Amino acid sequence: MLASRAARPATSPLRSFSSLAVSYFCPSIRDITLESTEEFIRRQKEFREDLVRLRNQQQESVDQNQEAVSKRSPLSSLIYGTDKCHEFDKELARSFSQVLARGKYVHSLVMHEVKPDKVDEYADLVGQWYPRMARIQENCVNLVGSWRTQVGDSDTFIHIWEYQRYEGYHSSLHKISEHAGFREFDRKLRSLIKGEKTSLMQEFSFWHTTPPRRLGGLFELRSYTLYPGNLLEWELHWRRSLSARREVIEGVGAWFVQIGDLNTVHQLWQFANLEQRKVCREHAWSRDGWAETVYKTAHLTQSMQSRILVPMPWSPVA
């Protein structure tokens, strides 16, 4: 398994994307009730408090390391250059993708369009295989989550995987393909789906993908197709306003496509139910800067799509 990623940016033992599923069935939006809001908010509060605690611990460790570095002798600065010079050199060496992304991880978004009469069979097959592959350490892959579309592309299942750069992507696919049972799994999968679509993405540097959590409720995947050449400007406006948005809406992650549907940005949000989604979005408009962000990014966007998802039983983010 990949190194744990808890509060991020630093590594932490919290991050473990392997999950144990008790049973595999196809969840439905019918399983979600308005009474779930209170429980969702309670779990959300606990999750955020844990993240703050972990980030504080990580920051203390970083501060201690920086203090040790600051005690270098003047001679070492003459030999190796000042910290400011080193930082300037790093800035010059950064690529366009590194300006936007963290660069440490590559994510794949896989969409399966399942045959309507094969949905339960698909859930059982994938539910047995995906968590198993994520639990095997040498596969070097994390399963971020698996979801079923309930509003949008019906009978479409969405999976997000996490790899350590493109090296990890190649290595993981190769190792999984050599596992006993892979050929049979792949053959069976092909008989259950009508189509498959894969995009390779990177997460934005200002919005790290959440570690595993179980808050309940449903998810919204919002996909934006931007006009070519506008990604950097779009990122700048969102970076400035995200904190206000996050105060009222629980974000899961945001990624931009590098291979696949180019100029596409995906955002994943989590809500207790559709009523809470409505209330949260209304509250977001009352926050300073949000209306301005919408105004400044609308002309950058060719089209957008919204899908309502429910998590599968084995999904680490649920």
Domain layout of the chain by residue ranges: 98-311
Q: What share of the chain is helix, strand, coil (3-state, %, to 5)?
A: 45, 25, 30
Q: What is the distance between the alpha carbons of residues 172 and 25, in angstroms, rounded to a whole number?
A: 27
Which residues lie below 8 Å from residue 179, measured CB to CB, with a gap of 6+?
133, 136
Name the 3-class secondary structure at 230.
Answer: coil
Amino acid in the structure at residue 284: A
Alpha-carbon separation of residue 169 from 117, 139, 311 (angstroms): 32, 10, 24
Question: What is the C-alpha separation between 17 and 163, in angstroms, rounded?
Answer: 12
Per-residue pLDDT tens digits of the chain, which is 318 residues long = 444 444 443 333 334 434 444 456 677 777 777 777 888 888 877 877 777 787 777 777 666 666 554 544 443 333 333 454 444 344 434 444 555 555 689 999 999 999 999 999 999 999 999 999 999 999 999 999 999 999 999 899 999 999 999 999 999 999 999 999 999 999 999 999 999 999 999 999 888 899 999 999 999 999 999 999 999 999 888 887 777 676 777 789 999 999 999 999 999 999 999 999 999 888 878 777 777 888 888 999 999 999 999 999 999 999
Q: Which CATH architecture has domain 98-311?
A: 2-Layer Sandwich (3.30)
Alpha-carbon dihedral angle through residues 159, 163, 167, 172, given to the nearest 10 degrees: -60
Cβ atoms of residues 223 and 264 within 8 Å? yes
Q: What is the pLDDT of residue 27?
A: 78
Tell me which amino acid residue 107 is.
H
Question: pTM for the complete prediction?
Answer: 0.75
